Structure 1
């Protein structure tokens, strides 16, 4: 919580008094899945919104820090052939930190790490709560994405994120090899609106 509070203070200060920093807002959605839960497919939709600051290192590179609310998990939707449903939703406050490189005018590649703190979660099977292993409260993700500035002060951000640390134990309860745990992966689509430079 101390890290969240510190990051929030930095972001608020940067947005209100930015000179060397770029600062702005982020809003979008993501689609995600969890490996190790015996399901497949990016069927879980969630929200992604927050704020960011970006500091130029040189003409081509910049360092970006974000604070955002992020929803991810897994879902088994209803189908006629398989009517059983399942939902595993994880809600995080995440602090992504990336290095951004401009490959050409208006196009940037980003890579970095995301440290996330679990706010709450729910796991349901056909509208009934399931009591299983609680997810870890701290998550670490690898991030890779692209930013496209299609209009002044407005960018489209497409980002892939994959867990480095596990969410919890594998559904099989095994602890070795490919069954070392449950890990999340997601693809997010967001607009980044720059409000200060």
Structure 2
């Protein structure tokens, strides 16, 4: 009886999934990032992102999706010859992110998305003029990054689409003591602008 019930549930799930409009594929792109709360300003830290996505239509106008991808974030300050500022600083952060989102189509080729993402910190590091930060100056980052996201998409053809997305941490990625002179906030937050290309696999 249990086997029959299990088979029935699996069959129902299979046919229910087949009845929906699911698509999946690959996603890759470039990031421009900064960390709000450090002494740098501007989206000067480049990075890459790549992974996969799955998406389903909720109606003709609305859809939902999820991704899993590797994302490079952080911040960067280069020496400025004009101001004679010789200070250099690089923060490199690598996350495995899982964004989920809802989308709305405003035309056949344009849509907008909103959602949230959770990321697990896979590696981190900070550098200055003389190399990596000394161990006694290192401050640990939080293991997880929780971000809100907004974006817009353009459908190029049946398989390709381009997306412009902004994502911002709504919980700090690192808590800092207030007496460290090079930070102007007590906490730090990832701030990322990304451009991505989506390629649909399958029929």
Is the TM-score greater than 0.5?
yes
The alpha-carbon deviation at position 88 of structure 1 amounts to: 0.3
The alpha-carbon deviation at position 127 of structure 1 amounts to: 4.6
Structure 1 residues 1-197: aligned runs within 5 Å: 20-80=21-81, 81-130=84-133, 131=135, 132-170=138-176, 172-173=178-179, 179-196=185-202
| Cα distance in 2 between the residues matched to 1:104 and 1:49 | 27
| Cα distance in 2 between the residues matched to 1:42 and 1:27 | 19
> How well do the aligned residues superpose, as a CA RMSD in angstroms?
1.9
| Cα distance in 1 between the residues matched to 2:46 and 2:151 | 18
The alpha-carbon deviation at position 172 of structure 1 amounts to: 3.4
Deviations 1:147-194 (A, max 9, x none): 1012221001100000011011247358xxx83410110100010011
| Partner of residue 6, structure 1 | none
Cα distance, 1:97–1:24 mapped onto 2, change above 3 Å = same
| Cα distance in 2 between the residues matched to 1:37 and 1:45 | 17
User: Across the two proteins, how many residue pairs are aligned to each other?
Assistant: 178
Q: Is the 8 A contact 2:34 2:44 kept in 1?
A: yes
The alpha-carbon deviation at position 126 of structure 1 amounts to: 1.6
Instruction: Flag structure 2 segments of 5+ consecutive residues without an equivalent.
Output: 1-16
Instruction: Spell out structure 1 runs of 4+ moving beyond 6 A.
Output: none
The alpha-carbon deviation at position 61 of structure 1 amounts to: 0.7
The alpha-carbon deviation at position 69 of structure 1 amounts to: 0.3
TM-score computed with the length of structure 2 as normaliser: 0.82
TM-score computed with the length of structure 1 as normaliser: 0.85
